[in-house]
Amino acid sequence: MKNNLEELRNQRGLTQQELADQVEVSRQTIISLENGRYNPSILLAFRLAHLFQMKIEDIFFYIPEDY
């Protein structure tokens, strides 16, 4: 699953640690999310969407071939 988390984070001038603190995960999780190595739980996806005031599908992009 791809995402534009890094872009959104940079737009808001947040560091990885600051974003991690706001959604209550480790910095390593943010790094893995940004690199596309980890897919978030639905709860974390909602937290990020809530933080960025966006819909989940505007942050994370489901690609059927990835499944």
Partner 1 sequence: MSNTKNWIDKRLKIGWIMFSIGAIICIAGITSELKITNRPFDFRIITGLGILLLGIGIGQIVRYRIAAKDGIVAKRIAIEEHDERTVLIRAKAGNRAYWVSTGLVYILLMWISFASNGKLVYPNENILWYFLALAIVLPFGIYLISILRDERSS
Residues near partner 1 (CB under 8 A) are: 20-21, 24-26, 28-29, 32, 37-38, 40-41, 43-44
CB of 24 to partner 1, least distance (A): 5
Do 49 and 60 touch, CB atoms closer than 8 A?
no
Name the residue nearer to partner 1 (CB basis): 8 or 44: 44
Exposure string (b/e) for 12-44, b if CB count within 10 Å is 16 or more? eebebeebbeebebeeebbeebbeeeeebeeeb
Name the residue nearer to partner 1 (CB basis): 37 or 55: 37
CB of 55 to partner 1, least distance (A): 21
